[in-house]
Structure 1
Amino acid sequence: MQDLKISKKKPSYPVSDRLNKYLKEYNRHLRISVSYEDLLRFQGSVAVYDKNDNDTLWTRVYYSEFDRAEIDLNLKKVYTILHSDGNQRTIPFLNVDAIDYCTFGNSKPFRVKVRNILNDNFTYFYVKKADASRIYGLELEHMLSPYNLNFLVYKNTLIEEHIAGIPGDEFIQNSLEDCTPSEKSQIAKEFVKFNERCMIRLLGDMRSYNYVIVPIHDFDHVVFKIRAIDFDQQCYEGKFNVYRPQFFKENNRMVTLVSERLTKDSIDQYKIEERSIVAKRIISYHDRLNQLVDCMIHDEISSEAHIEMLKTTIYDYTLDVKFKRSKNMGEILKNALDFVKRNYEDVNAKDF
């Protein structure tokens, strides 16, 4: 298995006026009372360790008494906007238990833990720098995956809901071997589908710590789903294999599981199933998806070298000349989605 190399530091791309207009139309752009820069005013921090005393790479931050009162109130307001209608009557029942900061990765996010003091239920959300790549990734995940996503953008700040699940690297290390043979076959199937979905919509860098495994209890068995949690590498890298999770060494165990549990015919079947499902979503979200891709076509979200490399590789993979003519990442993605949709419609026309 090759060790894929990706860009050490992806630049953060500003949110264009065209993309902002799109976000307003679909209720993603709302005025909020706290910014990413506000949270950077912390006075100190301590490392956060997990239950096994391993460093999580997160630090718990602390603010001055004056700043803490203002920041806590504004974060509670953000919570009510993100998860409700913005009604502030629930604020007295909310408490900000912790604000954690992570310097690992491109986005350097803050993770906010909000607890309902009446019943001790809690949830997380994230405050990040607004980056056009990540916003495109979130919207595409919302439309083309089985999962809806909730996020807000205001000026240079992005608010993301928490995606619950077991981090892929932790699951592979601590839980995978304890799964039954039928569960391993089901996980292998989900990885094939996840791999195909990422490739189609050009979501890169799905190493095991950038997705989660979600166990769902269904009658007398457990169904496992795989969800992406990091959308920073949407349509940025030039290497096509960066958009295929199977080529990262961190996913070697999952690739081995696929080869152990599935036949080639089964793998091909699951790939076709996933392409068909994505094609149906492309058709279902036709107008909204076209608007988003149009924003991307008029946006700068990658380098000329990456664009040239990716469109050439995908042309070699598909022999579709439209990829060769692509001028930017938006056009490459548009042609990829059109390719999947066209193949789906051609098959259905023949069947009819």
Structure 2
Amino acid sequence: MGEKLMSKKKPAFPVNAKLDDYLEHYNRKIEIPVFYEDLLRFAGAITVYDDEGEDTLWIRVYYSEFEREEIDLSLKKVYSILHSNGGEEIIQYLNVDAVDYCTFGNSKPFRIKVRNILNDNYTYFYVKKTDASRVYGLELEHMLSPYNLNFLVYKDTLIEEHIAGIPGDEFIKNMLPKCSESEKAQLAKEFVKFNERAMIRLLGDMRSYNYVIVPTHDFDHVVYKIRAIDFDQQCFEGKLKVYRPQFFKENLKMVQLVQGKLQKHSVDQYKLEERSIVAKRIMSYEKRIAKLIKICKEDEISLPEHIERLGKEIYELTSDVKFKRSQNMGEIMELALDFVKRNYENVSALQIIEHRIDVK
């Protein structure tokens, strides 16, 4: 048996005072009327099954009559803060249809389903325990990916908007076999770009259930995009492979798609395109990223042995000795983003690194 790819369990890291100030400056820190701990006071629960009768690993919780009224009102207020101006005028038109709790994974989130009773439209949001890794991950996703993210932090509670899409594992199992050959080629391209983006910004554990596939109808065809939905493995693990989705067995079908649909020069071109796009985003968010990285350099979001290993592995690819000398994950992140920014026009340097990555 080979070495296990990931650690058994990642600890939650607290949000320090400087990160808290950063969140307040960028309107991420807002007083909310309910805490994660409040939702744990449920009186009972039932298992949630999917349409095929499979256990979803979520349980639907219910509260005593006394608790329910207070919690419902608080969750409606949170919805208003997250999606509107925080006013109470829309509360009368909202109904909390379900509060689900997931016991699987690190974050143990609550998923809240809120319905507009006027038109029966509904949406979800998530209530989680605050973790600095996740906050850094959400902020970097907001700045370095094509997608804006809406989330709020208040003390030990994190509120995240729902990212719509088809869970990757479900898509691979049920929908990928039905895709046309041109759709499969397009999915292969998107997986290459997603893989590259995750590695550049050190977002780990992008197994198929931690991202969604988003189909968009465009004239006579469907365009697919891949979006990360779980950010608690930002800059924690020491193995570089953890930050490359292609190495997880859950993504094998997507890797086979790339191998079957794309020639090597196309893969190289898509990787280069993604690096160039990320480099431009780094430059457009330069001051904000610099603030975040400065805070991260003074923070503790990983273990010493992970920092040492990751620095060495990236040094082996880039020959930049600064990676090997890094003292924390913030320094590695800063060097990685700076490397992408400096080299995105230097194709020869990136091709050398690409060769080393392929060899490994």
Pair in the same fold by TM > 0.5: yes
Q: Is the 8 A contact 1:4 1:242 kept in 2?
A: no
Aligned to 2:273: 273
Residues 18 and 295 in structure 2, CA contact (< 8 A), matched pair in contact too: yes
| TM-align CA RMSD | 1.3
SS in 1 for 2:337: helix
Structure 1 match to 2:92: 92
2:182 corresponding residue in structure 1: 182
Q: Using the TM superposition, give the Cα deviation of residue 4 of structure 1 relative to its aligned residue in structure 2, in angstroms.
A: 5.1
Q: Say if 2:293 is the partner of 1:293.
A: yes
TM (normalized to structure 1)?
A: 0.97
* Counterpart position of 1:56: 56
> SS of the residue aligned with 2:213?
strand
Gaps of 5+ in 2: 348-360
* Distance in 2 (alpha carbons) for counterparts of 1:236 and 1:111: 25
* Deviation of 1:344 (Å): 2.0
Cα distance, 1:37 vs structure 2: 0.3
Number of aligned residues: 348
1:51-71 deviation per Cα after TM superposition (whole angstroms, max 9, x unaligned): 111100000001011110000
Q: Report the counterpart of residue 78 of structure 1 in structure 2.
A: 78
Give the structure 1 partner of residue 245 of structure 2: 245
For residues 304-319 of structure 1, what are the structure 2 equivalents within 5 Å? Answer: 304-319=304-319
Contact 1:4 1:248 in 2 (8 A): no
Equivalent residue number for residue 227 of structure 2:
227
Amino acid at match of 2:289: L
CA distance in 2, matches of 1:258, 1:98: 39
Cα displacement (A) at 1:324: 1.4
- Preserved CA contact (<8 Å) 2:47 2:55: yes
Alignment partner, residue 15 of structure 1: 15
For residues 3 and 166 of structure 1, the distance between their equivalents in structure 2, rounded to whole angstroms, comes to 31
Residue of structure 2 in register with 1:350 after alignment: none
Alignment match, 1:66: 66
Gaps of 5+ in 1: 348-352
Cα pair 1:3 1:249 within 8 Å, conserved = no
Superposed displacement of residue 345, structure 1: 5.1
* Corresponding position of 1:161: 161
Q: Which amino acid aligns with 2:317?
A: Y
Give 1:92 deviation, angstroms.
0.3
CA 257–226 in structure 1, closer or farther in 2 if over 3 Å, else same? same
What is the deviation of 1:321?
A: 1.4
TM-score relative to the length of structure 2: 0.95
User: Could you tell me whether the CA contact under 8 Å between 1:197 and 1:275 is conserved in 2?
Assistant: yes
The residue identity in structure 2 corresponding to 1:44 is: G
Paired residue type of 2:183: E
Deviations 1:59-96 (A, max 9, x none): 00010111100000000000000001101100000000
Higher relative CO (Cα under 8 Å, sequence separation at least 6) belongs to 1
Instruction: Check whether the contact 2:5–2:241 (CA below 8 A) recurs between aligned residues.
Output: no
Secondary structure, counterpart of 2:100 in structure 1 = strand
